[in-house]
Amino acid sequence: MSSARSPAAGSGAWPATTGPPPPAIGCSQQIGQRLRTLRKARGLSLADVEAQSGGRWKAAVLSCYERAARAISAEQLSELAAFYSAPVEAVLPDPPTRVDAVHARVTLDLARLAELTGPEPALLARYATSVRCQRRQQPTWLLSLRASDLPALARIYALPTITLLNQLAAWQVLA
């Protein structure tokens, strides 16, 4: 069992608690998952947290927070993050990202993509090939991505959707 006041054992860094959430996950679920990640990164059981907090954090209540079965106030969230020696930002949900109607369909310029080098553009090229195969689309120099493709692609890159769109624009692969 590790101390509740230190980062993940031996790592010197906080566990990964940010990044895009899986689809259809709400704020309470994100907070709960991140609270559980912080607790487990310290090797603590729910009972350990209750004991080490002197009963301040009851195991049953923590379990409800982690399962999003009970709402946690901002004050309690701040105190629990402090107990885990983590910044409250490590537990807060991701800001909602909204793809504007203009970006509901994004068209990729595959000719421009083919000119780019490096692992990130290569990953996009493999994704585009996969989409074309799934749709049984003949090879062309343009590929329209559906709105549902964007969050999936953003998760592959571990980026918010809006950041992915900015990256595609920076690569000049938007047709």
Average pLDDT per consecutive 10 residues, the chain (175 residues; last block may be shorter)? 39 43 63 92 95 95 93 91 90 64 69 91 89 80 83 85 85 89
Give residue 95's pLDDT. 65
Q: Which CATH number fits domain 101-170: 3.40.718.10, 1.10.287.3510, 3.40.30.10, 1.10.10.1930?
A: 1.10.10.1930
Give residue-wise pLDDT tens across range 77-89: 999 999 999 888 8
- Classify domain 1-95 at the CATH topology level: 434 Repressor (Amino-terminal Domain) (1.10.260)
d(CA 54, CA 47): 11
Identify whether the C-beta of residue 149 lies closer than 8 Å to the C-beta of residue 157: no
Q: Which two tokens stand for residue 27?
A: 């704020």
Identical fold for domains 1-95 and 101-170, yes or no, is: no
3-state SS track over the chain: CCCCCCCCCCCCCCCCCCCCCCCCCCHHHHHHHHHHHHHHHCCCCHHHHHHHCCCCCCHHHHHHHHCCCCCCCHHHHHHHHHHCCCCHHHCCCCCCCCCCHHHCCEEEEHHHHHHCCCHHHHHHHHHHHHHHHHCCCCCCCEEEECCCHHHHHHHHHCCCHHHHHHHHHHCCCEC
Q: Which residue type, as a one-letter code, is found at position 71?
A: A
Model pLDDT, residue 23? 42
pLDDT of residue 172: 92
> Domain-by-domain residue ranges, the chain?
1-95, 101-170
pLDDT at residue 48, as a whole number: 96
